[in-house]
Structure 1
């Protein structure tokens, strides 16, 4: 994985920085593992906008991923692929029965590598096994919260966690990148290594059009609006809003915690920073 910057021969390449991965598959994805993806425009099932600044974007196909790693107990990596629906790359596996499946590609995975999934296995990048059989200090991703549900933690590009402790009560302690310490059952599975495409955070789109290709619509600052449109609007000349940052509906933002207490909160030993 390398970062590529462009000479400013056109306005669109003036600040453009992209990632280059020469080993990625240049063709189309496996047809039986994809389905057409319809755009929501940030609207829910009632047609109301619940997430603003969404809409448009390039046409996509959704890839079905095996987050549980139950479909293939032992498979060979055929190729690495780009996925427009997520920041990390995918790996196409094939088992002895010629069955194919997509998984999240960890950093350092190569074509032709043999991966295993089960209760036990070798401590090798890409292998999935139970936490009870993983040594303390191992880097993990695609971690289950409940046994058998499939990986739910650490699935974005470059994401990783670390197993730092095993308790006698059947729970292990995981340290997330945010600094949060969480207890997870040792019966849950996790994949060795970190997610690929760690340089995704260093990408610079370079122009507004690239944001539109990704389905991101423009966002207007509240201080540039009129008082009837936003609490920060109005004033003589340029102002800073005159109050702590809020949404157009007056709700506090920029640091305001909106997470509700869930049933799983009792498993959080230390909150994120």
Structure 2
């Protein structure tokens, strides 16, 4: 992958930095795509998540996060672009005739063979139980509950590292620096997620964000009515009129801890903020 700079014909294009990615095909496998319809960020017509819209028209690719084709050999047919995520996806053709999409692994190439299941070889692209993965190996697409499908470490260029094994649990260091306990019977995929150069891209202009489904963010102080935002009203030149800045719903937005003290904290060994 190489960085591509455009000819600076406008201020927005001047700031753009794109990544040239090598995709083998231009069209997706139609049987594994479904249309994305309806509003985004809404619940029965009411805004539930702000700053979201449907964006440009696109289809959703059905990804196999569970990797439950146990002991069935598969071959990589193509590496494709997915508009719904920042990582590439790979189309796998299994020997029984079924085809599935998976998140492409860095270093995985067309023609490579992969397999998932118990007691498989720990090589790039294979999926296996975390308890069987050697210490120090990079993994991604990690399950939090057995047979639920991978939920952690799925972004472009990310990976987690197996650090220790204690009884039924395995300690995993995730990209944020946090160390968590994961049940050893959960599945994970060997290797790092593809497209690690994604972090070097620059959007360049607001129009591209609109196409991506991200609506504009308005400063709270710009609201003319305090009913719409706590910072709103006649405070544009005199501050916000509060002791500390708050969110739209009144929750302090500077250093206030909102994480619930629930059972999931049992699985956290090292906080991401500690050195």
| TM-score higher than 0.5 | yes
Measure, in 1, the Cα distance between the counterparts of 2:93 and 2:56: 29
- Deviation of 1:158 (Å): 1.5
Aligned residue runs from structure 1 range 63-102, under 5 A: 63-71=61-69, 73-102=72-101
What SS does structure 1 have at the residue aligned with 2:231? coil
- Confirm or deny that 1:108 pairs with 2:107: yes
Paired residues of 2:164 and 2:171 also in contact (CA < 8 A): yes
User: CA 1:186/1:76 → structure 2, altered by over 3 Å: closer, same or farther?
Assistant: same
Question: Which residue number corresponds to residue 15 of structure 1?
Answer: 15
Where in structure 2 are the equivalents of 1:1-273 lying within 5 Å? 1-22=1-22, 24-44=23-43, 46-71=44-69, 73-167=72-166, 169-228=167-226, 229-235=228-234, 238-241=237-240, 243-273=243-273
How many aligned positions are there? 270
The alpha carbon displacement at 1:237 in A equals 6.1
Gaps of 5+ in 2: none
* Contact kept in structure 2, 1:222 and 1:231, CA below 8 Å: yes
| Structure 1 residue 200, shift from structure 2 partner | 1.8
Query: Quick one: distance in 1 between partners of 2:66 and 2:249?
Result: 41
Structure 1 residues 236 and 8: CA distance shift in structure 2, 3 A:
same
Q: Cα deviation per residue 1:64-122 (whole Å; 9 max; x = unaligned)? A: 11111113631110111111111111000001122100001111111111111111222
Which secondary structure state, in structure 2, belongs to the residue aligned with residue 92 of structure 1? strand
CA distance in 2, matches of 1:41, 1:239: 36
CA distance in 1, matches of 2:133, 2:47: 44
Unaligned runs of 5+ in 1: none
TM-score for the superposition, normalised by structure 1: 0.92
Whole-angstrom distance in 2 between the partners of 1:160 and 1:240? 43
Q: Please, what is the CA RMSD of the aligned residues?
A: 1.9
* TM-score calculated relative to the size of structure 2: 0.91
Measured after TM superposition, the shift of residue 162 of structure 1 is 0.5
**Contact 2:156–2:196 at 8 Å: present in 1 too?**
yes
